[in-house]
Structure 1
Amino acid sequence: MDFGYDDDGIEDGMIQLVIGATYDDVNHFRVVLQQYVIQEAFDILKIKNEKTRVTAVCKAPGCTWRVHASAVDEDKGVKHSTTFMIKSYNPKHASYKVQPFYMKLYRARMLALEMNQGSPKDSYSYLLAYGRMVLAKMPGSLFKIQYQEMRDLSGNPIFKRVFVSFKACVSGFVKGCKPLIGVDGCHLKGRYRGILLSAVSYDGNNEIFPVTYVVVEVECKDSCLFFLECLYEALGMITDDMALTFMLDKQKMPSLEYSLIHTKDDVSDIYTRTSSQQVNQDSCLGSTSG
């Protein structure tokens, strides 16, 4: 580390401040002090910052770190020497604690994630490639994506919804799970928001078994109907005599309940009826194919 001076107070590759250390002039001392602060990662406040004296303290509340340097007379009779010397120094950081701003740390974290994983905006462009891979690697799976309506067809399509159903999950549900489908949703907290709806069941060990999932813009009748129509298509191996029971949160998901009741108007092969049974304030809807 070279600051353009003969002696920078470096010992074992580290800058050291000690009482009696001398510097060529005030600028030399200021440079060394600045580099020492960077090295030790703390902030200072210069109480005095003059040509003949510099006094600095740690900026942290209650901290006792302090350094004072001033010009000295090297030879007797010389009243205006430019040589600077540290006259007093307290190296202890009592009660010192770094408290960076939360948003600064958050932005740094987001920048690091974007550098390592890519931006959320760019990830949407990989959806079609992901869908083709799912269908190629797992034949019989279902992948459907919808875009928002656009007046100008020359621009890039804008994502609206995506439904994903893996063949292995559907086969496992039909062959090894109870005829029960629980549907629930949660809000996505990322930059572009949305709702994640998932359909799950119970396997033979009474463990939760994933069936399908969908990402929609909001929970409304249109998006819920899209989910149910895709779910019906994914469960194509369901026989006519197999009855299913749907369980959902009646208070949180009224749109999905409405879609279940009125699905028969849009998909003629599904017949639904509302069950009066309540389970933990959930609405259970039984359905049979017919």
Structure 2
Amino acid sequence: MIFAASNKFSFKYLDNSKAYYRVVCQVEGCPWKLTARCDGGGDVVRVIGMKNEHIHNASDGSSYKATISSKQVGLFFKNKIVQKPSFLPRDICNEFENAFQYRMSYKQGWRAKEHAKECISGPPSSCFHLLPWMCRRLEDAIPGTRAVWTSDEGKFKQLFVSYGCSIAGFKYCRPVLKLDACFLTGYYRGHCLSASAHDADDGLYPLAYAIVSSENDDDWLWFLQNLKEVIGEWNVDQMNLYVWLMVYKNLRK
């Protein structure tokens, strides 16, 4: 597809299987043709024949419009994103337009970058099995950290994290906690619950956060139970977590 976009022509498949490909130019009567096959049972495709000659008139060139998927664009920019992870979707759109004289929308550029990131590091779903290891590493690397997670039938359900340095510094903050939540806009959605305080300079002091499915009573109670374990040594064991939850819910109404 990148080759076709570079040379400004469209093609169609005469044969398209996992082992054999036969592609011709979409212009009637054009002799351009490519034949390829997979070597053995692998994914390597070898071109076995190609007639790289076009017979087009002026109207064929003026009516050409690139047809390329975001996945192909992502593969094209993969190496650049490896070198520069901050490469923006808008940069992809601009560079692609300069190279192929085809204007992409921002949404297409964003999808292209997501495909490139997936090719580099795999889909996000393949990283959930690293969660136990990440929690252990957090607790080992930062003494006093609490990082716990739960699952339901082998699927990720909840994650709670409170860093040891945040827990140690909380005793110097005002003894008031603020609870809040926001929805996540990623592919898997969910909500982020948080607990924060105010330090001596009246600045926001993050204490803990959790990733859960939604703002329901069970998830809030689980978050507050873990939060109680974090700050329990500062004489708050007598606090009723259910009361915390009800107060918070009433304030949000």
User: Shorter-normalised TM-score: what interval?
Assistant: 0.5 to 0.7
1:95-145 per-position Cα deviation (integer Å, ceiling 9, x unaligned): x96333555433321111112343210121111001111111223221211
Q: Displacement of 1:181 after TM fit?
A: 1.0
**Equivalences for 1:1-290 in 2 at 5 Å?**
38=6, 54-56=57-59, 57-59=61-63, 98-100=102-104, 104-148=108-152, 150=153, 157-174=154-171, 176-239=172-235, 260-261=242-243, 283=251
Matched residue of 1:237: which SS?
A: helix
Q: Displacement of 1:38 after TM fit?
A: 2.0
Distance of aligned partners of 1:127 and 1:50 in 2 relative to their CA distance in 1, 3 Å threshold = closer
TM-score scaled to structure 1, two decimals? 0.51
Residues 167 and 231 in structure 2, CA contact (< 8 A), matched pair in contact too: yes
Larger radius of gyration: 1
Distance 2:4 2:144 in 1: 65
Q: Displacement of 1:237 after TM fit?
A: 2.1
Q: Displacement of 1:283 after TM fit?
A: 3.0
Distance 1:141 1:224 in 2: 20
The structure richer in strand per residue is: 1
Q: Displacement of 1:47 after TM fit?
A: 10
Distance of aligned partners of 1:165 and 1:262 in 2 relative to their CA distance in 1, 3 Å threshold = closer
Residues 144 and 167 in structure 2, CA contact (< 8 A), matched pair in contact too: no
Residues 163 and 227 in structure 1, CA contact (< 8 A), matched pair in contact too: yes
Structure 1 unaligned spans of 5+: 1-34, 62-95, 151-156, 245-257, 264-271, 276-281, 285-290
Distance 1:123 1:162 in 2: 14
Distance of aligned partners of 1:221 and 1:165 in 2 relative to their CA distance in 1, 3 Å threshold = same
1:44-85 per-position Cα deviation (integer Å, ceiling 9, x unaligned): xx9997999833342389xxxxxxxxxxxxxxxxxxxxxxxx
Distance 2:4 2:127 in 1: 43
TM-score scaled to structure 2, two decimals? 0.58
One-letter amino acid of the structure 1 residue matched with residue 251 of structure 2: S
Residues 225 and 241 in structure 2, CA contact (< 8 A), matched pair in contact too: no
Distance of aligned partners of 1:55 and 1:235 in 2 relative to their CA distance in 1, 3 Å threshold = same
Residues 212 and 219 in structure 2, CA contact (< 8 A), matched pair in contact too: yes
Distance 1:36 1:146 in 2: 49
Distance 1:260 1:53 in 2: 75
> Which residue in 2 is equivalent to 1:82?
none
Between the aligned residues of both structures, percent identity stands at: 24
Count of residue correspondences: 178
> Which residue in 2 is equivalent to 1:5?
none
RMSD of the alignment, in Å? 4.0
